[in-house]
Amino acid sequence: MNTFKKDEVPKKKKEAGKFSKSLASVFSGNFLSKDNVVGLLPFVFFLTFLGIMYIANGYYAQGIVRDLQKTGNEVKELRSEYITIKSDLNYNSKQSQVAQATEGIGVYESTTPPTKIVVDKESLAKITTVN
């Protein structure tokens, strides 16, 4: 004999029928002609707005990444230029290079070493006394 109640079997068939009817109405487009769609329009517009904002945020993030890469490349170029100029300055400030550069204008390197000038107190007093 049948152990199911009469109410249980039709519920399963009704649920399956309800799902297939709703799926068929989605594919056919009949769900758009109902009045409840008008009530869902603000939600659909909100979802559309969120989608547009998501896309705009992606473009904004890509722009920032491009700017960061561009700035990073500029920093690398400036650093290499700095190192090059610094090494040139170190080379040109060597004693031999300075002496070679100043020979053309009439300034020559001294060949005598510097000497210390010693002044005793009496001579210092004479020099500092103004007449």
pLDDT tens for each residue of 56-69: 999 999 999 999 99
Is residue 127 situated within a structural domain? no
- 114 lies in a domain? no
Does residue 26 contact residue 32 with C-beta atoms inside 8 Å? no
* 115 within a domain of the structure (yes/no): no
Q: Compute CA distances 126 → 11, 116, 121, 130, 131, whole Å.
A: 128, 20, 9, 8, 10
- Report if residue 18 sits inside a domain: yes
Does any domain span residue 57? Answer: yes
Q: What is the mean pLDDT of residues 94-98?
A: 88
99 domain-assigned:
yes
Instruction: Note if the pTM is more than 0.85.
Output: no
Helix residue ranges per DSSP H, the chain: 8-28, 36-92, 95-102, 121-128
Residue 119 lies in a domain: no
Spatial separation of the C-alpha atoms in residues 44 and 77, rounded to whole Å: 50
User: What's the total number of domains in the chain?
Assistant: 1
- Residue 71 pLDDT > 80, yes or no? yes
Is the distance from CB of 31 to CB of 25 less than 8 angstroms?
A: yes
What would the pLDDT profile of 114-126 be if each residue is shown by its tens digit? 999 899 988 888 8
Residue 94 located in a structural domain: yes
Chain center to CA of 15: 55
Helix axes 95-102, 36-92, angle to 10 degrees: 70
In this predicted model, what pLDDT tens digit does every residue of 11-53 receive, in sequence order?
555 566 788 887 887 777 776 666 667 777 888 899 999 999 9
Domain range spanning residue 78? 13-104
